């Protein structure tokens, strides 16, 4: 069957503007005949068989036939926060916040028949967690927990007392299996020195368990069934890790066969981040280990590791409905990377980046996956994107305050996957524009420099000796470009002042003109006085030329004097003259301040009074 002949997929979304419907690939448009619903929509839910779509407003609940797009039922129930369908869409459950009454008789969880709108029964359900009853796939039974008991009803007798009860001391959780032969798994927490335990019973016989498994380190569990209901994975969690290895407690995974012929502890390392059965119910995948590099492992039906997908920052597993393609993703506080794997060949197909994803769901056709950024988890950049498993972005839509988005369920058999995977279809105009407008990541211009270190040369420890010249100039130009005009001006002033000082005092590390090398020139001849050096350089060309080279061919005399320090070449008289002149200059500056009306300190006045003595000393030195 070609892709064009397949029935179109459909998805619904709930935003601040109301409810919208859209067809999937390749059209991505609102289906004809649907009247958009506006207003305050609190919750949106498809039935598990895809027949109905229901939503709740503050005044009522409306049920839409998802195929004909006609409203088939309207229930006048106010302030409903949760709704859910039974597996075949026959019954609709609702939950409201419980209102305190004197006798505590407010029944806030109700079950209705969809076709007639009749209320069949109601219960008092305080907690919003696990608020709904659990159904078997054939809707033969439904069950809910009351204290240490699990009560079972037949749909035709919902108004009556339960037809049977499973009563076990210390029971805290239960889970009904899918599949044709339904069973129930119950969990018992640790009590005193007794271990925790999971037992599996047949709904028709609670006398003898079909299978059981006891273990320690379990404050609560999550029971994950395969689609056939023949095996269950028990994900056990503790609030505290007594070994101190993890802040998030400790996790373990146990495998139980309903037939009772096999059970084991699944060999994993560290924390468990996600677990998912393959739709064929024969193998499962676990992400386990410490972040940021947990391990992803494929296990067979006997909990033997058969393949490693590597170590990457991933925390989400999504199988497509046909079980052919597997997505390993890192959402939440991770970067949002999605890896597509072919389950048949165990090879990676593609990788994409879906940043800020808060919801992810496969299309029933098994070829497209939807990612969304939802409010209130993230209040910016809300919208959804639809990707092909080859990594191509097919369609994108931005919305203001998108709260919920969901595909209409369909049987996987309607959309079979061929032996060879199909190529990606052509993207829509919106996705093409979004891809064209996507800004590339800015190129790094260098290593991070703290503000106080910007504009200064990088330490030699971090310099690349192979590219010393180019990297130095590049880093200097990059740092100069980050400075303001005033800072750049001040930097140039400091550099010029330093050069001027070096030219006055002499810099032994500065290169010698004409030497052909950047290292200072050493000479075996004594250094002449500065005044003699000046006269020799300017007035006596023959003497300069005679002293230009020594026996080893290096520059001497004149060049060495230029590189030397003049203070080491001055006589004692010259040094005294320099010091006296410096003091007289300071006295002159103090007199100017005094003339301007500035009050001077006692030490400054004493320095001014010594001016005449300094002048006499200077005259005596010059004689």
For residue 297, give the 3-state DSSP assignment.
strand
Name the DSSP class of 426.
Answer: P
The CA-based angle 256-154-230, given to 5 degrees, is 15
String of DSSP letters for 533-577? HHHHHHH-HHHHHHTSB-TTS-B-THHHHHHS-GGGT--HHHHHH
**Which pairs from 344-347 meet CB under 8 Å and 24+ separation?**
346/298, 346/307
Lookup: tokens for 313: 């920052």
For residue 358, give the 3-state DSSP assignment.
coil
Q: Across-strand partners of 146?
A: 149
- What is the number of other CB atoms lying within 10 angstroms of the CB of residue 511? 14
The per-residue pLDDT for 462 is 45
The per-residue pLDDT for 367 is 93
Report how far residue 237's alpha carbon sits from residue 217's, in angstroms, rounded to the nearest whole number: 7
Report how far residue 211's alpha carbon sits from residue 259's, in angstroms, rounded to the nearest whole number: 7
For residue 531, give the 3-state DSSP assignment.
helix
Q: Which CA distances in Å does 437 have to 119, 357, 434?
A: 53, 19, 5
Per the CB < 8 A criterion, the answer to whether 166 and 146 are in contact is no
The per-residue pLDDT for 6 is 78
pLDDT tens for 211-254 read 999 999 999 999 999 999 999 999 999 988 777 777 778 999 99
For residue 241, give the 3-state DSSP assignment.
coil
Residues found in the chain: 623
For residue 97, give the 3-state DSSP assignment.
coil
Task: Tell me whether strands 149-153 and 164-167 are parallel, antiparallel or unpaired.
Answer: antiparallel
Report how far residue 508's alpha carbon sits from residue 527's, in angstroms, rounded to the nearest whole number: 14
Residues of 460-490 as b/e, b for ≥16 C-beta within 10 angstroms?
eeeeeeeeeeebeeebeeebeeeeeeeeeee
Task: Give the max Cα distance, the chain.
Answer: 130
The per-residue pLDDT for 510 is 43
Report how far residue 64's alpha carbon sits from residue 70's, in angstroms, rounded to the nearest whole number: 6
| Strand locations in 61-115 (E) | 61-65, 71-75, 80-85, 91-96, 109-113
CB within 8 Å of 57: residues ≥ 6 apart:
39, 40, 41, 42
Q: Which CA distances in Å does 114 have to 46, 140, 376, 385, 517?
A: 13, 17, 31, 33, 95
Per the CB < 8 A criterion, the answer to whether 72 and 65 are in contact is yes
Per the CB < 8 A criterion, the answer to whether 365 and 357 are in contact is no
Q: Kind and range of the H or E element at 497?
A: helix 485-505
Cis omega (within 30 of 0) on the bond before 488?
Answer: no
The per-residue pLDDT for 153 is 95
HEC secondary structure over 382-402: CEEEEEECCCCEEEEEECCCE
Residues of the chain with pLDDT under 70: 1-5, 104, 429-485, 502-568
Q: Which of 241, 233, 313, 303 is nearest to 270 (CA)?
A: 241
The per-residue pLDDT for 568 is 57
Q: Which CA distances in Å does 17 have to 36, 41, 61, 291, 526?
A: 10, 9, 18, 39, 93
């Amino acid at each position: 069957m070609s892709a064009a002949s397949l029935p179109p997929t459909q998805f619904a979304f709930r935003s601040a503007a109301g409810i919208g419907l859209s067809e999937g690939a390749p059209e991505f448009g609102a289906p004809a005949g649907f009247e958009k619903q506006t207003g305050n929509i609190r919750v949106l839910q498809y039935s598990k068989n895809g027949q109905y779509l229901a939503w709740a407003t503050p005044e009522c609940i409306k049920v839409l036939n998802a195929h004909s797009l006609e409203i088939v039922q309207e229930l006048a129930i106010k302030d409903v926060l949760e709704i859910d369908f039974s597996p075949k869409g026959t019954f609709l459950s609702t939950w409201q916040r419980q209102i305190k009454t004197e006798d505590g008789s407010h029944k806030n969880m109700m079950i209705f028949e969809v076709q007639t709108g009749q209320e069949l029964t109601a219960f008092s359900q305080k907690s919003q967690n696990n608020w709904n009853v659990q159904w078997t796939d054939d809707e033969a039974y439904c069950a809910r927990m009351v204290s240490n008991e699990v009560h079972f009803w037949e749909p035709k007798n919902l108004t009556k007392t339960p037809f049977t009860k499973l009563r076990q001391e210390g029971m805290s959780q239960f889970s009904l299996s899918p599949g044709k032969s339904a069973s129930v798994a119950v969990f018992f927490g640790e009590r005193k020195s007794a271990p925790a335990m999971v037992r599996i019973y047949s709904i028709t016989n609670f006398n003898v368990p079909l299978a059981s498994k006891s273990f320690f380190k379990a404050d609560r569990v999550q029971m994950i069934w395969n689609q056939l209901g023949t095996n269950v994975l028990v994900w056990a969690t503790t609030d505290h890790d007594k070994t101190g290895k993890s802040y998030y407690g400790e996790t373990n995974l146990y495998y139980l066969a309903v037939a009772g012929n096999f059970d084991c502890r699944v060999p994993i390392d560290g924390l468990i981040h996600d677990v998912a059965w393959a739709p064929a119910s024969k193998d499962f995948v676990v992400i386990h280990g410490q972040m940021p590099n947990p391990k992803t492992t494929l296990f067979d039906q006997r909990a033997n590791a058969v393949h490693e997908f590597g170590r990457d920052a991933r925390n989400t597993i999504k199988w497509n409905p046909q079980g052919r393609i597997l997505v390993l993703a890192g959402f939440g506080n991770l970067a949002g990377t999605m890896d597509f794997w072919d389950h048949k060949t165990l090879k990676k197909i593609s990788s994409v980046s879906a940043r800020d994803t808060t919801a992810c769901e496969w299309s029933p056709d098994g070829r497209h996956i939807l990612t969304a950024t939802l409010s209130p988890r993230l209040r910016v950049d809300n919208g959804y994107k639809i990707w092909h498993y080859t990594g191509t972005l097919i369609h994108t839509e931005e919305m203001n305050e998108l709260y919920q988005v969901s595909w209409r369920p369909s049987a996987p058999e309607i959309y079979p996957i061929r032996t060879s995977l199909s190529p990606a279809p052509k993207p829509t105009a919106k996705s093409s524009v979004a891809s064209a407008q996507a800004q590339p990541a800015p190129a790094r211009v260098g290593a991070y420099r703290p503000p106080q270190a910007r504009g200064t040369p990088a330490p030699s420890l971090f310099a690349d000796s192979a590219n010393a010249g180019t990297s130095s100039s590049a880093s200097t130009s990059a740092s100069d470009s980050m400075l303001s005009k005033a800072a750049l001006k001040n930097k140039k002033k400091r550099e010029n002042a330093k050069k001027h000082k070096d030219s006055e005092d002499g810099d032994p590390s500065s290169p010698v003109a004409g030497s052909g090398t950047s290292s200072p020139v050493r000479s075996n001849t004594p250094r002449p006085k500065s005044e003699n050096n000046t006269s020799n350089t300017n007035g006596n060309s023959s003497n300069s030329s005679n002293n230009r080279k020594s026996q080893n061919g290096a520059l001497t005399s004149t060049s060495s004097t230029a590189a030397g320090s003049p203070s080491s070449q001055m006589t004692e008289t010259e040094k005294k003259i320099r010091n006296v002149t410096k003091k007289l200059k300071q006295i002159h500056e103090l007199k100017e301040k005094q003339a301007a009306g500035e009050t001077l300190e006692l030490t400054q006045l004493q320095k001014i009074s010594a001016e005449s003595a300094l002048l006499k000393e200077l005259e005596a030195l010059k004689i």
